[in-house]
Amino acid sequence: MKHSIKVLCIICLYFAAMNNTTMAQENTTDQKVDSLLSLMTLEEKVGQMNQYNGFWDVTGPAPQGGNAATKYEHLKKGLVGSMLNVVGAEEVRKLQKLVVEETRLGIPLIFGYDVIHGHKTLAPIPLAESASWDLEAIEKSARIAATEASAVGLNWTFAPMVDISRDPRWGRVMEGAGEDTYLGAQVAKARVKGFQGDDLSQPNTIAACAKHFAAYGFAEAGKEYNTVDIGTSTLFNTVLPPFKAAADAGVRTFMNGFNILNGIPVTGDTFLQRDILKGKWEFDGFVVSDWASIGEMVPHGFANNLKHSAELGAKAGSDMDMESYAYVNHLVANVKEGKVDEKIIDDAVRRILRVKFELGLFDDPYRYCDEERENELLYHKDHQAGVLDMALKSLVLLKNEGDLLPLQKNQQKIAVIGELADDKNSPLGSWRLGSDNNTAVSVLEGLTGLGIDFKYSKGPKVFNKDANFLNEVEVNETDTSGMEEAVALAKESEVVLMVLGEHGFQSGEGRSRTKLGIPGLQLQLLKEVYKVNQNIVLILMNGRPLTIDWEAENIPSILEAWQLGTQTGNAIAKTLFGENNPSGKLPMTFPRSVGQIPIYYNHFSTGRPNPEPNVFWSHYGDEKNEPLFPFGHGLSYTTFEYSNLEIDTADQKNVTVSVMVKNSGESDGEEVVQLYIHDKVASVTRPVKELKGFEKVSLAAGETKKITLVLTEAELGFYNHSYDFLVEPGEFGVLVGTNSQKGLTGTFTID
């Protein structure tokens, strides 16, 4: 691809701007950045810190009036450093060309987009992927997403979301890795590696973005955009480690968030962004604000007006303003009036330019704009195979009484019931901005593809109109038509496959819920069917843990199928009929009722943890303390036996924990062996258990393997209130097993 003349000129200007001694040396990225920076006016620097949303059909005529025309003028004047939501090789090229050729310095734009679980070919929603506990598969899935995204001109994704959350009322749990910090950190690393690859300058890798820094997942009552108020123990030990893991894995950008944290909007939080991220962690990429979050510091009651917001955001370390118009309109004045030191601007611009250099945008600003690649790679068959594999690994078998599953092909009369079984859109899940509607393989198509004979009845309508990303999903609560027909079909069948759950757009941003049962009339339908036929397999589709206590009590088999993306129907069909043995494990606790929330396995002990004959112990009068399904739970068509727990503490910095795991059933399978520890007495109390290691192991029927997991200081220690990392001597409890509640236990001591 041809370099633009402007970029070549810039390169000449670098040399002009550099002194002779430097010239003789190798041009490191930082030297190039500094040289370019020295050529920039204050206005151009602030321009780099400004990000606009795509605003007109780029390949159509130039916008004539209003906001769009202003943005267009700003682009031509070098007052924009990045665009989001401009997609397609042709569109990106056109905009890039405008900037490279018409601005004074021709600094290329970086193009960002929410590529969350794929671009066109969709993998399962991130929460589902995390249920695989398969880091290699997760990395590969992000690689597929990056391959397609980079083929449509994009070079930056706003992913992974690494927010830990313990509250399934919050719709965005679908976008993260669940409730656990250790698993979340491993998944964060895998996703960053998958998006960014080994070399960011390759045209098929894109910059990743760890978001939302920080604690957005702790929104009070699970209500979107709500207040977060947590102590340092939770912030340091639960919230920050996945961000740190992303930084350690080389993530090039961070996004802050909408929430306040302990009274300070995170977008304006100096402690988080400067002291921790750019200070202690030495992060040298850049921080983008969340959408308009710089401006939202005004309604938060933290800034007087947009100008004040710009001042506070920049000082606190928010390097790029996404759609607040605060920096572009007010930062220059803030600098000129002495409110913001120009050094702060220089630091932000350096960070942004650094990433642009690393992406190779100065070598070739059009390197991501290749229509041939675009045509070849979107929906590529290898990507389909990759996301199918990911989907197969993400399914979680919650219950399988009497080994109802797997079913034998065409030996029983099968009924399939539920509107979601015939849905090609909802299973794509939320946060799929680049995808095409109705491109999922539906459950009915998956079954047909596998050669299964079945009869289908939709049952009552579940969702009232075409759901989309922007609007509330309307659920049918009243119209029972279709119920009778479904029940009649169930009655004449031998097995009933009920496909029920949430719509894909009932989770995601802005989708908080207070009721977490299966929506609408679906539970009523299930109960009616149950009256005539109890041989039911419930296939659940959902973007968050649901409260399914009646279902768990009464339905013999429950398969958690989340929203599995493009290959949904194939993955489900193969699993129901034994071509895939489920191996997923829950990355989030399933509560019995909403009143238990937040409920999570790694809680602290109260002073009164044990049952008493009176009421004065930590419990509910009307609900159990235990969850419905614990974190880490997931069954298989085979069974696994654990034995011989051994703990070797000879090397105190590498405590090894080993266990024998046997596939004691009749089919081959995979088990996620999970290691939890409990630091029994510490200067800052520790949770009753914490995941600190796991291994997904494949075992043939009858096979036994020894699994060894190592606890280093990184796993044994914790952060105190001053953010010091401590490993304290004393006794530790160990649990190694099949989920967070069940396994072999032991103890060891650190001297």
Which residues are near ligand BGC by CB under 6 A?
84, 114, 158, 211, 290-291, 509
Measured CA distances, 561 to 423, 554, 555, 573 (Å): 14, 19, 16, 11
Smallest distance from ligand BGC to CB 668, Å: 40
Residue closer to ligand BGC, measured from CB, 255 or 310: 255
Amino acid at 548: I
Residue closer to ligand BGC, measured from CB, 161 or 245: 161
Residue closer to ligand BGC, measured from CB, 116 or 657: 116
Residue closer to ligand BGC, measured from CB, 291 or 719: 291
Residue closer to ligand BGC, measured from CB, 256 or 476: 256
DSSP, collapsed to helix, strand or coil, labels residue 613 as coil
Rounded to whole angstroms, the Cα distance separating 392 from 445 reads 16
Smallest distance from ligand BGC to CB 213, Å: 11
Question: Structure tokens of 555?
Answer: 């339905």
**Catalytic-labelled residue, pool 167, 290, 319, 679:** 290
Measured CA distances, 629 to 90, 130, 604 (Å): 48, 16, 19
Residue closer to ligand BGC, measured from CB, 162 or 473: 162
Smallest distance from ligand BGC to CB 732, Å: 37
Q: Which of 118, 104, 131 is nearest to 47 (CA)?
A: 104
Question: Structure tokens of 659?
Answer: 């266990």
The verdict on whether omega for the bond into residue 241 sits within 30 degrees of 0, i.e. cis, is no
Chain centre to alpha carbon of residue 210: 9
Smallest distance from ligand BGC to CB 291, Å: 4
Residue closer to ligand BGC, measured from CB, 162 or 369: 162
Q: Please state the φ and ψ torsions of residue 615, each to the nearest 5 degrees.
A: -85, -5
Residue closer to ligand BGC, measured from CB, 291 or 718: 291
Q: Which of 124, 573, 121, 114 is nearest to 382 (CA)?
A: 121
Contact 433, 85 (CB under 8 A): yes
Residue closer to ligand BGC, measured from CB, 504 or 584: 504
The verdict on whether omega for the bond into residue 160 sits within 30 degrees of 0, i.e. cis, is yes
Smallest distance from ligand BGC to CB 496, Å: 39
Amino acid at 40: M
Reported as type and span, the H/E element at residue 678 is strand 669-679
Reported as type and span, the H/E element at residue 69 is helix 66-76
Residue closer to ligand BGC, measured from CB, 47 or 54: 54
DSSP, collapsed to helix, strand or coil, labels residue 308 as helix
Rounded to whole angstroms, the Cα distance separating 526 from 459 reads 10
Smallest distance from ligand BGC to CB 368, Å: 19
Identify the DSSP state of 236: I
Smallest distance from ligand BGC to CB 174, Å: 12
Q: Please state the φ and ψ torsions of residue 64, each to the nearest 5 degrees.
A: -100, -30
DSSP, collapsed to helix, strand or coil, labels residue 397 as strand
DSSP string, 497-544: EEEEE--GGGSSTT---S--SSPTTHHHHHHHHHHH---EEEEEE-SS
Give the torsion sign (CA, 93, 95, 97, 100). Answer: negative
Told to judge if 290 belongs to the known catalytic residues of this protein, a careful annotator would answer yes
Tokens 């970086």 correspond to what residue? Answer: 110
Residue 610's Cβ-count burial label (10 Å; 0-12, 13-18, 19+) is: exposed
Identify the DSSP state of 171: G
Beta bridge partners of 111: 83
Identify the DSSP state of 21: H
Determine the residue with CB nearest ligand BGC: 158
The catalytic residues are 290
